[in-house]
Amino acid sequence: MTTHPAPDTGPATYLRRRTGLIVPLLLLVTGIVLGAGTLTMEVPDNVASPGPQLFPTMVAVACVVFAVLLGIDILRRPEPEQVAAPTDVDPATDTGTAARTTEATDVTASSASTNAPEAAAGDTADAGATRVRSNRRAVAGLVGTIVAFIVLLVPLGWLLSGALLFWGVARALGSRRPVFDIFLSIAISSLVQLAFSAGLGLNLPPGVLAGVL
């Protein structure tokens, strides 16, 4: 199966076109965890014949099998080929956008980021071919904000941590008005507090503002 020419120049590029290997890796780990969990499962003695272990065993085996198959598929067909294929039947809308766009407009952001050389190298390596360009800094900022929100929710309370969440996500997604965003995010989290805590009776943690609210 040597249908695809290999423009790969080195091991780094080779791997960068195959970051999708993370999915089979995840499947493999899931399969192993399920398998180990099934073996160590504490089953009551009086269980009817197809017990609680049969189904997990099947799923664990399926995980490993599909991890191997998917891994082989990704190794054989690296990314640019994938995205360049016709995407009009693809249910995922993001590949559609990705296929149409290659250029980075956000030059300042990407040059400031640590992985800019990599990204630039990637773009020149397959010029024209349309591999999805991932903005790792934005993803890191977004995930970091959510982690901070989860940690701070109970000690700080909804009002402040919710505002932080909105502010941080807007910033990670490219908002350029940090001061305006502070007011907007506090307004939004207060509105949520009013509508859902006072209005619909949902239980939101008050946190440090417990006495004030």
Partner 1 sequence: MSSLGNLGDGFLTILTPMNMLWVLVGALLGTAVGVLPGLGSAMAVALLLPVTFSLDPVGAFIMFAGVLFGGLFGDSTAGILMNTPGNSTAIAGSIEGHRMATSGRAAQALATAAIGAFIGGILSSALVVFFAPSLAELATLFGPAEYLALSVFAFVAISAVVSESVLRGLAALVIGLAIALVGVDGMSGTARFTGGMPELFDGISIVVITVGLLALGEVIAVAARRGTKEDLRVMPSTGRLWLSRGEIRLAIPAWLRGTAIGVPFGIIPVGGSEVPTFLAYGTERRLGSRRADSMFGKGAIQGVAGPEAAGNATAGTAMGALLALGLPTSATAAVMLAAFRQYGLQPGPLLFERASELVWALLASFFVAMAVLLVLNLPFAPLWAKLLKVPRHYLYSGITVFAMLGVYATSSKILDLVLVLAIGLLGFAMRRYGLPVAPVLIAVILGPLAETEFRRAMAVSEGDPSVLVSSPITIVLYLVLALGVTGLLVQRARNRRRTIASGATAS
Window 133-162: residues binding partner 1 (CB under 8 A): 133-136, 138-139, 141-143, 146-147, 149-150, 153-154, 158, 162
Shorter beta-carbon distance to partner 1: residue 33 or 208: 33
Length of the chain as a residue count: 213
Question: How many Å apart are CA 165 and CA 144, to the nearest integer?
Answer: 10
Of 8, 28, 32, 56, which one interacts with partner 1 (CB under 8 A)?
A: 56
Question: How many Å apart are CA 41 and CA 31, to the nearest integer?
Answer: 15
Of 41, 120, 198, 208, which one interacts with partner 1 (CB under 8 A)?
A: 41
Count Cβ atoms below 10 Å from residue 17 Cβ, excluding itself: 23
- Under the binding rule (CB under 8 A), the answer on residue 185 touching partner 1 is yes
- Under the binding rule (CB under 8 A), the answer on residue 187 touching partner 1 is no
Question: How many Å apart are CA 210 and CA 213, to the nearest integer?
Answer: 6
**Interface with partner 1 in residues 98-117 (CB under 8 A):** 98, 100-106, 109-110
For the CA atoms of 177, 98, 123, 72, the dihedral, rounded to the nearest 10 degrees, stands at 130
Task: Output the smallest distance, CB 66 to partner 1, in A.
Answer: 4
For the chain, first and last CA: distance in Å?
67
Beta carbons of 35 and 60 less than 8 angstroms apart: yes
Task: Output the smallest distance, CB 29 to partner 1, in A.
Answer: 11
Beta carbons of 141 and 114 less than 8 angstroms apart: no
Of 12, 15, 39, 69, which one interacts with partner 1 (CB under 8 A)?
A: 69
Amino acid in the structure at residue 128 = G
- Under the binding rule (CB under 8 A), the answer on residue 2 touching partner 1 is no
- Under the binding rule (CB under 8 A), the answer on residue 198 touching partner 1 is no
Residue span binding partner 1 (CB under 8 A) among the ranges 8-16, 85-93, 120-128 = 85-93
- Under the binding rule (CB under 8 A), the answer on residue 35 touching partner 1 is no
Shorter beta-carbon distance to partner 1: residue 70 or 125: 70
Question: How many Å apart are CA 213 and CA 204, to the nearest integer?
Answer: 12
Contacts with partner 1: how many residues (CB under 8 A)?
A: 95
Shorter beta-carbon distance to partner 1: residue 125 or 171: 171
- Under the binding rule (CB under 8 A), the answer on residue 127 touching partner 1 is no
Question: How many Å apart are CA 103 and CA 85, to the nearest integer?
Answer: 19
**Coil/strand/helix, residue 67:** helix
Residue span binding partner 1 (CB under 8 A) among the ranges 7-15, 90-98, 120-128 = 90-98
